[in-house]
Amino acid sequence: MNAKLSLLQWTEGTRGDELVAAAQRLESLGYHELWLPEIAGREPFATAGYLLAKTERIKISSGIANVYARDADCAAQAANALAEFSGGRFSLGLGVSHPVLVEPRGHTWVPPVKKMRDYVGRIRNATIESPLADKPAPVIVAGHGPGLVRVARDLADGSFLFLQPVEAVRMAREILGPDKELHVTVRCVLDANPATARDLARRACAFYISLPAYHARWAELGFEEGDWARGGSDRLIDAICAWGDAAMLRDKLRAFAEAGATHLVLYTCNPGEGYTPASAVSKDWHWELLEALGAAGARP
């Protein structure tokens, strides 16, 4: 299995100087890419530019930039600048987000497939007057439904799946064909005890499990309302999260790679996550887990 290992990490809990040290440490562990999310914290393009200037090999990418936050021309210009300055170490990850996150900011929600198709089409035709990057930034479209995966196939360089079971990875690969990148984000718990591991996974995934878009996709894959009610069934948690010791995690991640993932994106569940609103996302760096799965012979 040759899937590359990456990390999705919220940076809001890390001061700037400590963030540089963390990115450099992740680079030293051999991770391929660091994905920077976007909701209401650090602006991902500015943060990526700063970290790219402080690292040498690791990719630093928008994971996932909200298409409602800036127009497509702006995104194209930013991606080209970051790819140019870093020698090709930036990927433009794009997502349509969710109504609950974009409408309070004054945006009008539109059908996601049309929104993304129009947006990526505009990026492909944007006027960029600055020097073009020798290695253009890949455009990676986030979306777990077949429609958004087809947009990735038709207009982008790859797809980005989040909290989806192995069956969804297999279906995405069938739609994408053999050559497109397929980044698969898996929530990971370093705990071999089924009860405590699942408890942490439920708390860490509570916000995502509440979203209707995920319910619709999971239903298409054979799950039922009871699987996402009351925090998520064991069946659902085991399908969308990986838990166990390092060896168990490698085995569970391997299944996603064998289904067609070219990149495995770890999204760690940190001890204590989800007990309070302030701990609703993983703002700490789970170094014990990251080192266990890093470059020193422990990759899946």
Chain position carrying tokens 């129009």: 118
* 278 is a domain residue: no
80 assigned to some structural domain:
yes
171 in any annotated domain: yes
Q: Which residues of the chain have pLDDT under 50?
A: 296-300
Q: Which CATH number goes with the domain that contains 253?
A: 3.20.20.30
Assigned domain for 299 exists? no
pLDDT tens digits along 145-177: 999 999 999 999 999 999 999 999 999 999 999
Q: What is the pLDDT of residue 281?
A: 75
Which pLDDT does position 279 carry in this prediction? 65
Containing structural domain, residue 149: 4-196+241-272+284-292
Residue 295: its pLDDT value, please?
64
124, part of any domain? yes
Q: Is there a domain that residue 213 lies in?
A: no
d(CA 22, CA 182): 26
User: Is residue 208 in a domain?
Assistant: no
Cα distance between residue 2 and residue 263, in whole Å: 9
- Output the CA torsion sign for 286, 83, 153, 97: positive
User: What backbone torsions phi and psi does residue 286 show, to the nearest 5 degrees?
Assistant: -85, 80
Whether the CB-CB separation of 184 and 169 falls below 8 Å is answered with yes
Among the listed residues 105, 93, 120, the one whose alpha carbon sits nearest the alpha carbon of residue 8? 93
Q: Is residue 217 part of a domain?
A: no
Cis bond before residue 60 (omega within 30° of 0): no
**∠ CA 40-94-52, rounded to 5°:** 75
Domain count along the chain: 1
